[in-house]
Amino acid sequence: GSTKSSMMESRDEAQHVVECDMCQQPVSFFCRRCGVNLCDPCVLIHLRVKSKNGHDIVDYTSKDDDDTCHCDSHPQNDCSAYCKTCETPICMLCVTIKHKSHEISELSDKIEELLKVIATENDRLQSFKHELERIFEHTTKLLSSISSIYQLRKDEVTARGEEWHKQIEETVKKLHQELDGMQKEHETILQKQKEKFEEMVWKVNKINGKTIKLQKSKNVTEMQSFVPVIQKQESLSEVSQYSFPQLYEYKIDEYLENKLKENELSGRILSEIPTVSTVIDTGFPADETKNRLFDMAVTDDNKVWMGGASSELKLFDLQGNLHHTVSITTYGIYLCMYNKQVVYTGTKAVKMISDTDTVVTMFTTGDWEPYGVTSATSGDLLVCLRKDDQNKVVRYSSTGTVLQEIQDDSQCQPLYKEVAYISENVNGDIIVTDWNKNAVIAVDRLGIFRYSYSGKDTKFDVCSVATDSVGYVVVTDYKGDKIHILNRDGRFLRYIIPKGGISRPRGVCILGDGEMIVGECRTGIAKIIKYLEE
């Protein structure tokens, strides 16, 4: 027992020197048969001790490298054969005695057979090690971001709570003002009434005094002139019936209920058919697939950059006048504004037009091809990337440092199959159109899946996406010739089909004042559509 416990101790106290089990000197050797640690002098003493299994002394450092197989029945012998009948390795002594009539094979054959099985199983395990590591890494990433995810949710709850507090405070203030107004009015009326009755009391007292005086008088003339005066004096005039306000606090509930309804119904979306206020002919030529107008980006001073089927970007004002044209080396298919400059995705690079109208490469994207691009409120760029059958969204700094990659969901399945256009919503959601899945896919700012929208009916043909300052998600339905409006949780609210219709809508941007600008891909015409009430 002491041997075993001292071995355990030596393992537990690895930082201590391992001692010989017989004399506590530093260890040099190990007897495999007896499991004993030995120093140089004690080896000889130990070998003299009789043991039915014999001894097997090895260097302490190689005590675990046991390459030989000892016979169970004769531990002093190494096994050299294999008994198939008993399924056990045996030594030459066993072959002649205990296993005489059994089926015996070479030990090396059995070893080869076992190693084959082990190798096959090991290959199987190695083959999905990559997948395991991926899941492990993903889980580790999730774990490290879990507190920030929950903190984010808590912050959102706090923010929404503060919003409601503010609304309630404003309502309370409004109701207090209303009550103050009513009180003032009430006070004025009662004050007038008080003065009127004060005067009446004074008059009645005066009449009473005169009456007492006349009772002791014989002056008939005075009495005759006093009679009409006393008859004319009314006994009681109209008293204003002004009641106090009852139950005012229910108005808060009423207000909040209306507010909730408003939030739900998103009351600002136009109920009637939207109108087209301006039509802009961008004049792009048609490419071999008859496409002309691809994307648009709205500047701070309310002009629109247009990208189409020619190697140039055009800047129009909202009346349709062309202000400026810039030459680029590809078609302008995906555009956005970034720090007041127009940005587009080129071949394996994100490019920007400088103030001097030259094309500047902001950064390259390695062997990934960039598609949709949008600027984020954080001052970063969000870019859709594809490589072979892989898709991801990457958050880049302005210098091209990768800050975040969004590729898989929490089950380690790819989120996207064919990323195209991208937009960031006011709540931080990153919204992408996926042309293969034919869906709008939203993740929150940390890349956690939020929702997917695949249309209200089967004929949906998703193209591009934009979001407005209220959080509405605006999606162009290419072959459906219409626009879908969703709320910030991806719930369908209504279609927008303007008077006169819209043909093959592709790019879409939000302007101020409840207007959007939508590009008709095939005609090259951009239409400004009013879709929100003021």
Q: How many CB atoms lie within 10 A of CB 465?
A: 26
The Cα-based distances of 313 to 196, 342, 533 in angstroms read 81, 9, 32
Quote the pLDDT of residue 512: 81
pLDDT band at residue 456 using 50, 70 and 90 as cut-offs: confident
Q: Six-digit token pair at 533?
A: 């009430």
Quote the pLDDT of residue 446: 87
386-443, pLDDT tens digit by residue?
999 999 999 998 888 888 999 998 888 999 999 999 999 999 999 999 999 999 999 9
What share of the chain has pLDDT > 70, as a percent? 94
Mean pLDDT over residues 132-139, rounded? 85
247: left (phi over 0), alpha (psi -120 to 50) or beta: left
Q: Six-digit token pair at 167?
A: 């609304």
54-68, pLDDT tens digit by residue?
888 999 888 887 677
Amino acid residing at 277 = S
Of 375, 379, 497, 507, the closest CA to residue 433 belongs to 507
Q: Rounded distance, CA 475 to CA 440, Å?
A: 8
- Is the predicted pLDDT of residue 321 greater than 50, yes or no? yes
Mean pLDDT over residues 449-473, rounded? 91
Which range (194-203, 246-255, 357-366) has the least confidence? Answer: 246-255
Amino acid residing at 475 = V
pLDDT band at residue 263 using 50, 70 and 90 as cut-offs: low
The Cα-based distances of 458 to 52, 482, 483 in angstroms read 83, 14, 15
Residues in the chain: 534
Q: Six-digit token pair at 406?
A: 């969004």
Q: In 87-240, where do the E strands start and end?
A: 88-90, 104-106
Q: Are 294 and 519 in contact (CB under 8 A)?
A: yes
Q: In 17-95, where do the E strands start and end?
A: 29-31, 36-38, 57-59, 81-83, 88-90
154-209, pLDDT tens digit by residue?
998 999 899 889 988 998 999 999 999 999 999 998 899 899 889 989 999 999 99
473-499, pLDDT tens digit by residue?
999 999 999 999 998 899 888 899 998
